[in-house]
A = this chain, B = another copy of it.
Amino acid sequence: MAGGEGKRFWPLSSREKPKQFLTLTGDKSLIRETVDRVLPLIPIERIFVVTVERYRDETLRHIPELPEENLVLEPEGKNTAPCIAYGTLKIEKKAGEAVVVVLPADHAVGDDQGFRDSIKFAAQTASVRLADGKFPIITLGVTPTSPETGYGYIKAGKDVVESSERFKAFNVKRFSEKPDLETALGFLKEGGYYWNSGVFVWKTSSILSEFAEIIPEWHTKFDALSKELYRPSEKSAAADFYGSIKAGSIDKLILEHSSHTAVVPVSFPWSDVGSWKALDEYLRDGEDENVTRGDVISIGSSGCLAIGGERVIAIVGLKDIVVVDSGDGILVLDKERSQDVRLVTEELEKRLKDS
């Protein structure tokens, strides 16, 4: 899933270059890291990238070896549910029944091998029948390290669906939306709660059954779309499908209503990298005074995130400030105001319209 328009990383990101194409956590773009993370397990021929048409070329620049027929182009971004439906139909048409691992292209993972081990376990579990004969709809759940209010939480039930030496899959008792701080603290105290990582594993037939059961008005349209896939008429069929459905996340539209959900708890370092503050937290070593990239001179500053461009950045006497220099502009931000970066991009868009 690589269709996000992320405006929260201005001035590095832009409408033309959203977060998945940025190099934020390592030496490579997030989308490239996502692909490289699974390549030892899944050959490129079996990797499908769903994005919107606008990002076609940029996506291929980052994954030049991607077979072009594996590039799934949405007519418009409508959140994860349509993206997953379309991607699943493409995979099903090409491969028939298959286990699918759904990955956001713009998250950070701190342990690639641990990540692969966990999705390998989840992929095996996806083929283990539940009591009612169906197969599980699996989400990787990250063991919380802090009472984050920016993540959805999954409460694990008591039933063990499958277990190995290292992993267990539990039935899901409840999906909870982003909690307030008090609620999040309660979750951590109670235990058995996991962050919803947005990484899903299931059989094609399992998730299509869920669509059929929970939003049948979508499912009735799948055949019409599936018939045209990998043909010149695919684009207009996809446009018809997207034009006839509402936007929505897979969590809200399917998972929260499904009775076959399971969670595989994992404990690798993970972040959805949802803001400059989240990036700072992910990159920060406990002992770091500041997190810096590029040429940064710090004089009496702490808690800062400074990302340089072509020139030196000097930060003097600052606390908890984000400084980012890019070709598009310079951002100086109180870290706690990271959400307000969108106000900057809104202002810039307004200017473009007015000019």
A299 CB within 8 Å of chain B:
yes
Query: Known contacts A299-B340, A348-B312; is A323 also within 8 Å of B317 by CB?
Result: no
CB pair B318 A334 closer than 8 Å = yes
Residues of chain B with a CB closer than 8 A to A313's CB = 329-332
A106 CB within 8 Å of chain B:
no
Q: What's the Cα separation between A288 and B316 when bound, in Å?
A: 24
CB pair B344 A316 closer than 8 Å = yes
Residues of chain B with a CB closer than 8 A to A300's CB = 337, 340
A297 CB within 8 Å of chain B:
yes
Task: Tell me which of B297, B315, B333, B348 contacts A348 (CB under 8 A).
Answer: B297
CB pair B332 A314 closer than 8 Å = yes
Residues of chain B with a CB closer than 8 A to A308's CB = 330
Q: Could you mark each residue 278-304 of chain A with 1 if its beta carbon is under 8 Å from any beta carbon of chain B, else 0?
A: 000000000000000000010110000
Residues of chain B with a CB closer than 8 A to A10's CB = 314
Residues of chain B with a CB closer than 8 A to A329's CB = 311-314
A307 → chain B closest CB, angstroms: 11
Q: What's the Cα separation between A314 and B12 when bound, in Å?
A: 13
In the complex, residue of chain B having the shortest beta-carbon distance to the beta carbon of A313:
B330
Q: What's the Cα separation between A318 and B316 when bound, in Å?
A: 14
Q: What's the Cα separation between A318 and B344 when bound, in Å?
A: 14
A343 CB within 8 Å of chain B:
yes
Where the two chains meet, the residues of A that have a C-beta atom closer than 8 Å to any C-beta of B are 10-11, 297, 299-300, 308, 311-318, 321, 323, 325, 327-334, 336-337, 340-341, 343-344, 347-348
| Pairs A–B under 8 Å by Cβ, sample size 9 | A299-B344, A299-B347, A311-B327, A312-B329, A312-B348, A313-B332, A316-B332, A318-B334, A325-B325
